[in-house]
Amino acid sequence: MSHTESNSGGGKIKIPEGYKTIYANGIFNASSDRDTQGNILSLTIGNKTKTHTSRFYSYSLKLNDTINEYINEVPVSYTLGNHVSGDISASVKCELTSEYLNQWKQKTFKAIIDAYEEAVAAFNEKLAQESALGIEIKGTNPGFYREFENKILRKNCISYLLDQNPSALNTYGKSNLFYTNNGGAPSFGNTEVKVNEELDNYAAFVKFMEQAFEWEIMSYNLYPYYWGSRQDWPSLYQYDESNDPLFRNFMQAGMAKVIVTVRPGFEEAVRYYMQTGQIWNGGEVPVIEDELYLSLIDELRKPEGEKLGKAWPTRVPTALTILQAQSIGLNVTKALPFNNDLSDFENPEEVPQSAEIELSEAQIGISEGDGERHIENVDIVDGYLQLNTDDEPRQTVAQISIQSIKNAIDDLV
């Protein structure tokens, strides 16, 4: 625009997609020869215009004002009169349009919901797998839990009696007793046992540890979760994956007190090991003739316990079969359950008896030619389950109240 007496022009400012204009900033710097006629400086941005008409040698025209909401582009124009040179700088301030903002909110919300639903689906799938596993555990025989507890506590007890360094002579979990054919990766088909002195010593040590103590009858007392590591407290306290109360108590325990006895005849051998860390007689396995040898049958035989204190009644599942006197080859005088001597029980009045079963002369399994009556009907009369004969009038052979059956089932459950 240099050395021009008058001039005018315009342009456009591009607006990013999704935005609208709210404010304009512009400056028009010009110089003049101070002629007396035709002096004008004018700058327009959007719908706002700023004008100067006085004479000047140099002047800066500024426009700072709010403008209408333009999208896509905003117009800029200028007019000069009686000037020598000038320059223009123009800018606009924008903000998101409500439509674009709502679109962005919806898109962002959808992305969050999609991620949430994906995470919930993965969680529910994992929860279903764990729940199925929990149901399977809860249905396991209680004997499995007792065996599991015994093995875990046995291993922890043995760890107190040996050197836990994997390279030690007497320890567990040795991994150098095997080799692979042709040096390949270990697998079921190419792994062999190293038959050498080290294997003999290891086998002797294993046999001694398993036979010298009566692990099968050890007793233990479980202490609460707070005796375990603090970081494990939440998982210990919240464990509820089994309906077996003893196993649940075991899994929640922080520590345990274990009492295990030395097998009779192994006292001196165990004392020697505790003092020296070596198996008695240099680690040799006792021979069959030796008193310290424990045969496989003796090892598997369950030790007989000694009776302590008085008895207490215990309920076990039953098919509810009533056995009557002189029936099916049994010579009994009372229907079961029945116990003549209750003196050996702590509370004799708590011992279940068959007092509610009424006996009669009718018998089971006798031919009609002998003139005996047969049980042909099972009836429910006045709250009793009755076994009745087939003659008229019917004779009740035995009966038990429905409430007694319900109580027995509730006690079992």
What pLDDT band is residue 328 in, cutting at 50, 70 and 90?
Answer: very low
Average pLDDT over residues 27-45: 80
Residues with Cβ within 8 Å of 249's Cβ and at least 6 positions away in sequence, in order, are 222
Residue 140 is assigned to a structural domain of this protein: no
* pLDDT score of 142: 80
Domain that holds residue 337: 316-413
Residue 226 is assigned to a structural domain of this protein: no
User: For the chain, what is the domain count?
Assistant: 2
Q: What is the sign of the dihedral through the CA atoms of 292, 296, 301 and 302?
A: positive
Q: Which of 52-56, 279-283, 291-295, 366-370 has the lowest mean pLDDT?
A: 366-370
Where a domain ends, among 96, 131, 146? Answer: 96
* pLDDT score of 202: 84
Better pLDDT: 121 or 287: 121
| Spatial distance between the Cα atoms of 378 and 359, rounded to a whole number of angstroms | 15
Residue 53 is assigned to a structural domain of this protein: yes
The CATH number of residue 70's host domain is: 2.60.120
Average pLDDT over residues 327-335: 48
Average per-residue pLDDT for the chain: 77
* pLDDT score of 302: 58
Q: Which of 119-128, 196-205, 367-376 has the lowest mean pLDDT?
A: 367-376
Residue 379 is assigned to a structural domain of this protein: yes
Looking at the DSSP bridge assignments, the partners of residue 87 are 29
Helix (H) or strand (E) holding 252: helix 245-252
337 upstream amide cis, omega within 30 of 0: yes
Residue 240 is assigned to a structural domain of this protein: no
Provide, rounded to the nearest whole percent, the portion of the chain with pLDDT above 70: 75
Better pLDDT: 157 or 319: 157
* pLDDT score of 144: 85
pLDDT digits (tens, 9 = 90+) for 92-101: 999 988 888 8
Where a domain ends, among 35, 67, 96? Answer: 96
* pLDDT score of 163: 80
Where a domain ends, among 44, 63, 96? Answer: 96
* pLDDT score of 136: 52
